[in-house]
Structure 1
Amino acid sequence: MNLPIEIAFNTETLAGHAKRKIVLHRGLTVLIGPNGAGKTQLLRSLKSVMAQHTAGKLVRYLSAGRISIFEQYRSDINGYGGVNYDQATFGNKNDSSRRHNFESLSGDFYTLADRPDILIKVQERLRKLFKRDVLMEWDGGLLKPQFARLDRESKPYASSREASGLLHLIGLLAALYDDEVGALLIDEPEVSLHPQLQAFLLAEILHVAGVPSAGNNKKLVIIATHSTEMVQISRVEDLLSLVFCYDREAEPVQIPANAGELQAKKVTGLVARLGQEHKLSLFSKRPLLVEGPSDVIVCSALESKADASLEAAGSQLLPVIGKGQMPVVAKLLRLMGKDPVVLADADGFADGIDLVTGFLNGSDAADISAAAMGADSALSLAKSIYSDFCKVVEEKWDDAAVFAENHPYWVNRKKDDDVAISKRRAFFSTLFSLNNEQISGFDATGKCLTMRKRLEALLSLLEHTGCFFLRRGSIESYYETSSQCTTQEKPTAAADEMEHIAEISVAAAESAYADILRCIRHASNAAPISESEALRDLLLAAAAPAFVKFKSGGSAQDVTTTARMVLGDRSKLFEMSVIGDKLRIDVTSEVLDVSCFPLTIDKTDDIVKVVTAALA
């Protein structure tokens, strides 16, 4: 049996059974995706078909909740108070023969008790790396492991008193070293493990991962993870072993082995430089690509100010260092089934339309919009506008120079920079930094204003595809505290701007950083959290019948009773009282983030309109 191995299987979805396929390109395959994307379901489905690829060896599945019933000896799971630490047991000796069927750590501790060779491998690592020893003991037919500290004099202690991370690690190591197993499926191997322990575990996984055969301890390992520490990417080929899950109802995504993009030198170089931030983007559906660390700092501050919740909504800020890298990174992310969003400096457009092409080429929605403007396609529209823009720069540079030559793109240009490119950059950003009156002041022909309108139409179309440009220049061109021409200590200047953003109002941020906030909200693609909105429907259900009772002359007690009849215990959220000829409604909770209470309602008011307006 040789790799790659194509595995076809059936899995359960909410709509019934569905056919799925994954390809094992190396010994370790990693399933990546958010909670609820179906990773666990895929692992369980694979368990039933892996036996045909294990050279007669066994298939083992370990669940994410693998500490299982042993937790009763570690915490008060019933709320009665007290924990029986010293009574901890991993099960009965009669169950030992079924150890490979267990999806919990019990099966692995049975392995340690039954296999002294595997116990030695685990003990040696515990002793040398963690200054611990584990002793497997049977007591009255029950497996009761004991632990001992080697870095100090102490008596052996019950396994329930050991750190949960070490318990998980010991069980996983026992499963990895078990040569009776030819396929090991692990759901969230990182559970309870410190990052450094995760890195150690991954190294051990890679050591045993491979094609199983008689006489070796290699095994096919498939894991589902949320941890960047469990993902190793050092070569382009490693990307093939990542399986991206986005929805339980949808087919998982793998990069095809014959994808031409993987052969590009820029992709090879990018993979070699992958860092933690790049790995984090592998776990998001809509990664937001920005130009560098300063952009990350400012965007993070604006995300917080706007309450956009990028990460929770499936996005991730990803700095892309190096001019010309954004198109490459965006293309690679699309191969993974992702929808990248980019926030590029103005030079990303002024220098050429490579980035634009990546977002418009093949975009049906963009083509439809372009057709409404009279263009054959979105890409042909972009090429036409860009070509005309370059001509306008050549024709109108001298007229615009009084402003354009003060722009950072021109001020900070280097001696060996292409003058034509520097002019395009400064001219483009100047058009979007001035108002109509200022532009008309140096261009009576109206060509520059017309060009800006055409550029605005194209940029708007691009934004719908996820491609945003900082119209005024770079991120520094939006600064209100530091110099917009700064080229030194950029992170420090960005940090100062971050503090400024934290102090200003949301309305002020919307005005000053509108281009950036549009991009952040597009990447987040999530409606703002509004507890008032959630409370509104509940209040209307209670207030409407209570209001009727109030209008007919009912007392405060009558009003409260009516609300309780409608909502039951949930009516306790509201305190209703009658004050003269007015109904007063207040919220009793200090947890909910609402500020419109108390409400005072006249008998002549429209209760629905009053509540809706207050909790809009």
Structure 2
Amino acid sequence: MTFPFDITINLSQSRIKEVQNKKITIHNGITTFLGPNGAGKTQLLRGLKVSLNSHLNGKKIRYVSAGRLSPMESYRSDNQGYGNTIQFDNAQFGDKSAVSRRHKNETILGDIATLSERADILIKIQERLRKLFNRDVIIDWDGGMLKVFFARIDSDSSESYSSAREASGLLHLVSILAALYDDEVGCLLIDEPEVSLHPQLQAFLLEEIKKVAGRNNEIGKKLIFISTHSTEFVELSSVQQLASIVFCKDIFENPVQIDPSLGEFQGKKLQALLARLGQEHKLALFCHKPLLVEGPSDQIICSAISRKLSLNTEAAGSQILPVTGKGQFPVVIKLMRLIGKEPSILGDADALTDGLDIISSFTTLSSANNLANELGHRDASKFARDIYNDFCLQISEHWNDISSLCKKHYYWVNRDKEKEEIIAQKRSAFCWLFNTDNEIIKTQPNGESWLTIKNRLSSLLDFLEKLGCFILRKGTIEAYYQHSETLTNDEKPNAASYEVNGLMDEDDIKVKSAYSDIIRPIKFCSSAKEINEAQATRDLLLAIASPALASINKNTSDNELRILSNSLLGDKSNLFKLSCIVEREDIFLNIELLSNILDINGFPIKIKKGANPIEVVNNSLGLK
């Protein structure tokens, strides 16, 4: 066996006609499947179980499922809910007949059967448990049934105890290590190796995986495939390691792998980025539309706004990712696109005013020209370049018109005096334009030309936002603060944290107004719709309200309404209390919500007989 080689994953077991077989390339001993929940990683692993048969070199193939401890749940928990005593001490792992099926068994039963057969594998695991966890593991046949016991070697008492009483993390570790060390296995597929393991233990397990991963025609080596949601099982310090990651989005779409021979990966900037990738960058590998921001302060504010407004950024397939300064935007964007992501950025004003390098990452997209054509421009890059050049020309020729006003801005006051002054002029002028009323701009010398360049810049910013490039119109994220003064660079994270404390106590409407420029990119990257429990409740409510309004009269009792609603919705009717209210000659149906956990405003709802219940309910709940 030589690397790399291609393999077609047989997905016929999915039983969905639209699902096609997938092709991947195996570059080394470890191949890692990454992607969000529901991306099809488990199906791909199971497909490999079929497809790898021709690559076994006479060895076994083993699949270890994410639910590998499931056979033990009847001994570790009250899984029937009867409140009975948990049967810890009755835990057993099968009989003699199960040993012959151990490589086909996808749970811990197969691994314990291996330990009963292979004393050498048992010794390897015992030694690690003793030295790392002060535990010993004992395999025993009791009345024809295989049982496992643990003992603490750091205790005065050497009394053993049932495996069902041991921490689930150690049981998971024993299961995976037994499969790893089994040299009868030539290909090992592990679904979610991180289950129940804390980060340091995950790191230890990865090191053990790396020791045995390789060509399965070598002694003690095996092909290993893992599906994971943990950054601890992702190593990205080189192009070759990146090539061994299979990025999954959906089982109906082809997974993405990079070709390490591509010219883009020979560049020093991209190689340097891979060498220093941290945990935060790795998190972006699990999402589809990462939002790149300039630093920790921006991440703190964006994450807080996402939480405050329940935008569910991470759950919706995004990740707010800080990069080290705006100069890193182009290379990070390139990397993300090469691995199948759709990155967006939230940049300070200088991401545009200092040059076109950053926005060129978006104006050169294939979709950019289509959008530009809709605005009457033939070429997106030329559209951006013409506006930018005219802006620079305006600053060069007419800076004195507005210099006294622009010199009050943060960008000018804190400028780097060793750099060209024109940089500070462009930055501060941009911010002055977008934070000054148009009527005031008109009153300045050459006011009409300044207003024209502002309008053109505004059209460019709107255009860029459709491509995923967001530029802060106030300059920096600190300019949007409502509760914290702008501090020095070293103090920015502290100021951001202080700002978060204030904005979390603010009314949502005020937050949406004050931070609108920041909210737009977060929503752009988040594919989730707003969670609105009122929408989910409305149909139930109307199913009761309409029939009740049709039958209600002055003498209708609460009990009659309760019986009616129960006949319509059964137990779900317990969400509401219906009552009849008579005011002069008018009859009203009053509906109260009987739940302490639903987050819905607008109750009680009072509907006049003869009124349109849909209209009243929608108005009360703030729905369209």
TM-score by length of 1: 0.97
For 1:143, the equivalent position in structure 2 comes to 146
Going from structure 1 to structure 2, the CA distance change for 1:363 and 1:551 (only over 3 Å counts) comes to: farther
Contact 2:554–2:580 at 8 Å: present in 1 too? no
1:382 aligns with 2:388: no
The code of the aligned residue for 1:46 comes to L
SS class of match (1:561): helix
1:256 aligns with 2:256: no
For 1:206, the equivalent position in structure 2 comes to 210
1:72 aligns with 2:74: yes
Contact 1:266–1:325 at 8 Å: present in 2 too? no
For 1:165, the equivalent position in structure 2 comes to 169
Contact 2:323–2:329 at 8 Å: present in 1 too? yes
The code of the aligned residue for 1:10 comes to N
State the 1:250 CA deviation.
Answer: 1.1
1:538 aligns with 2:540: yes
Going from structure 1 to structure 2, the CA distance change for 1:297 and 1:186 (only over 3 Å counts) comes to: same
For 2:220, the equivalent position in structure 1 comes to 217
1:510 aligns with 2:512: yes
1:238 aligns with 2:241: yes
Candidates 551, 555, 558, aligned match of 1:556: 558
For 2:187, the equivalent position in structure 1 comes to 183
Gaps of 5+ in 1: none
For 1:10, the equivalent position in structure 2 comes to 10
Candidates 528, 531, 534, aligned match of 2:530: 528
1:542-573 CA-to-partner distances (Å, cap 9, x unmatched) read: 21111101159654344333322222221121
1:303 aligns with 2:306: yes
State the 1:252 CA deviation.
Answer: 0.9
Contact 2:434–2:473 at 8 Å: present in 1 too? yes
1:601 aligns with 2:607: yes
For 1:584, the equivalent position in structure 2 comes to 590
For 2:199, the equivalent position in structure 1 comes to 195
1:229-282 CA-to-partner distances (Å, cap 9, x unmatched) read: 111122122111111111121111111223322122111111111111111111
For 1:457, the equivalent position in structure 2 comes to 459
Alpha-carbon distance in structure 2 between the residues aligned to 1:523 and 1:85: 47
The code of the aligned residue for 1:167 comes to L
Contact 2:461–2:471 at 8 Å: present in 1 too? yes
Alpha-carbon distance in structure 2 between the residues aligned to 1:10 and 1:84: 41
Aligned-residue Cα RMSD (Å) equals: 1.6
Aligned length in residues:
614
SS class of match (2:502): helix
State the 1:136 CA deviation.
Answer: 0.9
1:43 aligns with 2:45: yes
Q: Which deviates more, 605-614 or 561-570? A: 561-570
Q: Which deviates more, 219-228 or 9-18? A: 9-18
SS class of match (1:153): coil
For 1:32, the equivalent position in structure 2 comes to 34
State the 1:438 CA deviation.
Answer: 2.5
| Paired-residue identity, % | 50
SS class of match (2:106): coil
State the 1:306 CA deviation.
Answer: 1.8
1:563-607 CA-to-partner distances (Å, cap 9, x unmatched) read: 222222211211111122221111111121112111112223221
The code of the aligned residue for 2:100 comes to S
Alpha-carbon distance in structure 2 between the residues aligned to 1:426 and 1:346: 9
The code of the aligned residue for 1:7 comes to I
1:488-499 equivalences under 5 Å are: 488-499=490-501
The code of the aligned residue for 2:306 comes to E
SS class of match (1:352): coil
The code of the aligned residue for 2:110 comes to G
Q: Which deviates more, 442-451 or 76-85? A: 442-451
Contact 1:334–1:340 at 8 Å: present in 2 too? yes
The code of the aligned residue for 1:90 comes to F
Contact 1:476–1:486 at 8 Å: present in 2 too? no
State the 1:340 CA deviation.
Answer: 0.9
1:352-401 CA-to-partner distances (Å, cap 9, x unmatched) read: 1122111121332x323322332112222111111111111112211111
State the 1:107 CA deviation.
Answer: 0.6
Contact 1:51–1:57 at 8 Å: present in 2 too? no
TM-score by length of 2: 0.96
For 2:441, the equivalent position in structure 1 comes to 439
The code of the aligned residue for 1:510 comes to K
SS class of match (1:60): strand
Q: Which deviates more, 474-483 or 508-517? A: 474-483
Contact 2:441–2:447 at 8 Å: present in 1 too? no
Candidates 410, 413, 417, aligned match of 1:411: 413
The code of the aligned residue for 2:295 comes to G
For 1:352, the equivalent position in structure 2 comes to 355
The code of the aligned residue for 1:483 comes to E
SS class of match (2:552): helix
For 1:23, the equivalent position in structure 2 comes to 25
State the 1:13 CA deviation.
Answer: 6.5
SS class of match (2:174): helix
The code of the aligned residue for 1:78 comes to Q
SS class of match (1:578): strand
1:52-87 CA-to-partner distances (Å, cap 9, x unmatched) read: 122221110011000121111111111122111111
Alpha-carbon distance in structure 1 between the residues aligned to 2:123 and 2:297: 51
